[in-house]
């Protein structure tokens, strides 16, 4: 993790909104000498920040590099809690695994675990998640809501809304949600969400929300088995996109909807979610651990559970499944 001084320095630049901040103002704000300020500025430059220094005006950031280290995420981040503690590693087995350890060791709520690459990224059950270096967002966020464990699956839907809105606002894309945890663009998967828990029988200790997003991958970068089902933000947008801006927006939206949820319950999130859902109203096949159900997806319950009506008119409530929309691949 980085030094508290650098953290404050990036905060000062964030607040100045692209304007110059004088060396003296920085020194006063940070409680250090101007020579120390200069050393930290040099350190930022070495990390790829482009900084302009003008006599009598001070410093300003012209360009932050597209890495996803603590500095890039913090610069311009507009949240109270989420992402205010960041654990970054260039390469990691799985951010989800690390987040479990940190949660167990009582890290602050809102801690973000992020890496440039995952060597054993995981999906649901025993599936793997392809997470190559520099081309995507591989991150896990730790929340500690005071709720019973049954409500945890709603957080997958809440996170999906945050991701969709971040992609809309930062990239101008129009993604859709396939219940429960896939975000699709033009029918292909751009993001997967994995919600896991540390809980007692009646109380959540931590929710760990894992988000995997293909951002700058090219179609040929995907392994053979993903070629037909996966896409990336850059493929859909036709140009490279800054990962840190998407991350910041996801964190901001997650924080917003997390607070809304804690104040008003799942109702408002459900309404938003329904506006982006593609499976509702369609004929689907749901493959669960216990069997396969075919029918029409008629909606989700107030708990986020999927309701399917089969051909005999019976309604099934599905807690977890893989969904195939009929007529789609």
- Applying CB under 6 A, the residues found at the interface with ligand BTX are 94-96, 118, 121-124, 127, 129-131, 138-140, 181, 189, 192-194, 210-212, 214, 226, 229-230
Report the relative pairing of strands 86-92 and 112-118 from DSSP bridges. parallel
Q: Is 6 annotated as a binding residue?
A: no
* Nearer of residues 66 and 93 to ligand BTX, judged by Cβ: 93
* Nearer of residues 193 and 293 to ligand BTX, judged by Cβ: 193
Closest approach of ligand BTX to the CB of residue 240, in Å: 17
Question: In sequence order, which ranges of the chain are alpha helices (DSSP H)?
Answer: 4-16, 23-30, 34-46, 70-74, 95-104, 154-171, 233-237, 243-264, 267-276
Q: Is 122 annotated as a binding residue?
A: yes
Give the integer Cα–Cα distance in Å for 101 and 61.
Answer: 35
Please give the structure tokens belonging to residue 225: 């088995």
Q: Is 34 annotated as a binding residue?
A: no
Q: Is 287 annotated as a binding residue?
A: no
* Nearer of residues 231 and 245 to ligand BTX, judged by Cβ: 231
* SS3 at position 110: coil
Closest approach of ligand BTX to the CB of residue 165, in Å: 19
Q: Is 249 annotated as a binding residue?
A: no
80, 107 Cβ separation under 8 angstroms: no
* Nearer of residues 130 and 253 to ligand BTX, judged by Cβ: 130
Closest approach of ligand BTX to the CB of residue 160, in Å: 11
Q: Of 41, 12, 36, which is closest to residue 25 (Cα–Cα)?
A: 12
Identify the bridge partners of residue 287 per DSSP, sorted by sequence position: 292, 322
Which positions make up the binding site?
Answer: 118, 122-124, 189
**Residues placed in the known binding site for biotin:** 118, 122-124, 189
């Amino acid at each position: 993790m980085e030094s508290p001084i650098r953290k404050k320095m990036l905060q000062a630049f964030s607040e100045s909104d692209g304007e110059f901040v004088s060396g003296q103002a920085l020194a006063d704000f940070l409680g250090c000498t101007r020579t120390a300020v200069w050393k930290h500025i040099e350190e930022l430059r070495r990390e790829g920040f482009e900084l302009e220094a003008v006599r009598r005006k001070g410093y300003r950031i012209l360009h932050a590099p597209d890495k996803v280290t603590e500095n890039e995420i913090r610069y311009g981040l507009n949240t109270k809690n989420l992402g205010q503690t960041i654990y970054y590693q260039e390469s990691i087995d799985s951010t989800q695994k690390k987040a479990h350890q940190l949660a167990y060791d009582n890290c602050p709520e809102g801690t973000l675990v992020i890496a440039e690459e995952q060597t054993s990224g995981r999906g649901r059950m025993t599936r793997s998640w392809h997470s190559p270096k520099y081309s995507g967002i591989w991150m896990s966020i730790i929340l500690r809501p005071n709720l019973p464990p049954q409500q945890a699956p709603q957080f997958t839907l809440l996170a999906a809304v945050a991701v969709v809105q971040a992609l809309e606002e930062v990239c101008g894309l129009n993604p859709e949600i396939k219940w429960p945890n896939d975000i699709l663009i033009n029918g292909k998967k751009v993001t997967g969400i994995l919600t896991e828990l540390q809980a007692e029988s009646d109380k959540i200790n931590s929710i760990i929300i894992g988000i995997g997003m293909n951002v700058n991958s090219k179609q040929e970068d995907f392994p053979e088995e993903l070629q037909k089902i996966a896409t990336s933000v850059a493929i859909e947008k036709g140009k490279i996109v800054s990962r840190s801006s998407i991350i910041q927006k996801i964190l901001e939206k997650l924080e917003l909807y997390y607070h809304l949820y804690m104040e008003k319950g799942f109702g408002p999130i459900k309404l938003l979610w329904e506006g982006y859902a593609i499976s509702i109203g369609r004929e689907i096949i749901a493959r669960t651990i216990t069997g396969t159900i075919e029918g029409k997806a008629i909606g989700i319950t107030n708990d986020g559970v999927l309701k399917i009506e089969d051909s005999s008119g019976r309604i099934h409530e599905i807690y977890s499944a893989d969904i195939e929309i009929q007529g789609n691949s």
